[in-house]
Amino acid sequence: MILKAFSHTIVALIAASTMVGVTQAREFPSQPIKILVGFGAGGGTDTIARLYARALNQELNTPVIVENKPGASQLVAIRTLLASQPDGYTLMLASGSALAQGPGVRRDLPYDPLKDFSLISMVATAPGVFVVNPRLPVRSMDELISYAKAHPGALNYGTAGVGAANHLQMKYLENATGVSMTHIPYKSDQEVTLEVGAGEVQVGLSVPQFVIPLIAAGKLKGIAVTGSSRLHALPNVPSLAEAHIAALSSMQNYTFYGLIGPKGMSPAIVERINAAVNKASASPDVAKRLRETLYCEPVVGSTASFRDYMNKEVGKWRELGRTVIIGATGD
């Protein structure tokens, strides 16, 4: 009898908890939502966050505000998120360098992306473009790797700083192909492209919006676009898949963007926000802005598919982290 009564109590508690979650989801949102961004205003992540903030404002019928907290490879914003209540009113749009790449190869980060966040929705993926100075005698990724192997340590590559997406992707390329190049950190992707064009460094990897004008002007030479498809704006630059380099087959996206919340959010509220993000991503206006302005691909998917993607990405970068460890101040 005692066991039976205990079982009934557990069932009642589970049912009550479920009803509380459903009630919270029905009442949500009842106040403005804040989306944290770990970069300054005007950058790619900030632009995407503001685009979705406007769309979510309409979908959820509540003000959605973007708050910039730049610094420390998005860690300033992440610390704020971790300290927030898991009620759905404080979220963060984070990029792949904070969600997968950095945690895989750094040992100084105070969070585990698979354990310490509520993973809400994948928002978009973004390609990167490998560029070289026009005076460098290479025209493809195969030729770059051959040249680097023939001249070990002779090439410099620029990145937006230690732990930035292009830094980690270049370390992945070095490790996968066995080449050795010297890392020169700068402050932004835009600065990297200018320095490659000027010949201060020979190789770079950046987002399309910064390299497309310089390639058109002949100041940069594009040799590959990450992933399996060419960009419509760069029809003469082959995709990385066309190089048929087996070691780089998993180097698909330059980065990705995901909406996350503090650990412990109600599953019903997570699903509510996920549905709103999916509607925004599927809308013609948002998709057009992403593709034509930022050269990103909007993503429509479940919370489960986002977690599956994160599991694969974090696993890939943790595998790299077995041999390459990157700290906060250097390689």
Residues 97 and 201 grouped into a single domain? no
> What is the domain-level CATH number for residue 220?
3.40.190.10
CB 164 within 8 A of CB 73: yes
Q: Once rounded to an integer, what is the mean pLDDT over residues 131-146?
A: 97
**For residue 260, what are its two tokens?**
């996350």
The domain boundary, picked from 248, 268, 295, lies at 248
**Domain presence at residue 329:** no
Q: What is the pLDDT of residue 267?
A: 98
Residues 115 and 261 grouped into a single domain? yes
Residues 40 and 18 grouped into a single domain? yes
- Report residue 206's pLDDT band, with 50, 70 and 90 as the boundaries: very high
Q: Is residue 300's pLDDT more than 50?
A: yes
Residues 12 and 113 grouped into a single domain? yes
Residues 146 and 216 grouped into a single domain? yes
What is the pLDDT of the chain when averaged over all its residues? 91
CB 294 within 8 A of CB 44: yes
Scan for tokens 């080449």, then name that residue: 179
Q: Is residue 12's pLDDT more than 60?
A: no
**Domain presence at residue 98:** yes
Residues 110 and 165 grouped into a single domain? no
Give me the domain span that covers residue 56: 2-126+255-321
Residues 301 and 316 grouped into a single domain? yes
- Report residue 329's pLDDT band, with 50, 70 and 90 as the boundaries: very low
Q: Is residue 10's pLDDT more than 80?
A: no
**Domain presence at residue 100:** yes
**For residue 222, what are its two tokens?**
């594009």
What whole-number percentage of the chain has pLDDT above 70?
Answer: 91
- Classify the C-alpha dihedral 201-206-209-211 as positive or negative: positive
Q: Once rounded to an integer, what is the mean pLDDT over residues 43-72?
A: 95
Residues 115 and 147 grouped into a single domain? no
Residues 103 and 71 grouped into a single domain? yes
In terms of Cβ atoms closer than 10 Å to its own Cβ (0-12, 13-18, 19+), residue 173 is buried
Q: Is residue 94's pLDDT more than 50?
A: yes
Q: Is residue 199's pLDDT more than 80?
A: yes
**Domain presence at residue 330:** no
Residues 7 and 114 grouped into a single domain? yes
Q: What is the pLDDT of residue 280?
A: 97
**Domain presence at residue 172:** yes
The domain boundary, picked from 233, 248, 263, lies at 248
| pLDDT, tens digit, 9 for 90 and up, residues 96-105 | 999 999 999 9
CB 295 within 8 A of CB 82: no
* Cα atoms in the 13 Å half-sphere on the side-chain side of 277: 29
Residues 145 and 95 grouped into a single domain? no
Residues 63 and 155 grouped into a single domain? no
CB 209 within 8 A of CB 45: no
Query: How would DSSP label each residue in 82-139?
Result: HTS-SSSSEEEEEEHIIIIIHHHH-S--S--TTTSEEEEEEEEEE--EEEE-TTSS--
Q: What is the pLDDT of residue 172?
A: 93
Q: How far apart are CA 41 and CA 70, in angstroms?
A: 9
**Domain presence at residue 195:** yes
Q: Once rounded to an integer, what is the mean pLDDT over residues 127-151?
A: 96
Tally of structural domains, the chain: 2
CB 247 within 8 A of CB 233: no
Q: What is the pLDDT of residue 327?
A: 61
Higher per-residue confidence, 9 vs 279: 279
Amino acid letter at 76? V
Q: Is residue 330's pLDDT more than 50?
A: no
pTM tops 0.95, yes or no? no
> What is the domain-level CATH number for residue 48?
3.40.190.150
The domain boundary, picked from 190, 223, 248, lies at 248
**Domain presence at residue 294:** yes
Q: How far apart are CA 331 and CA 329, in angstroms?
A: 7
**Domain presence at residue 331:** no
Q: How far apart are CA 329 and CA 194, in angstroms?
A: 23
Higher per-residue confidence, 304 vs 1: 304
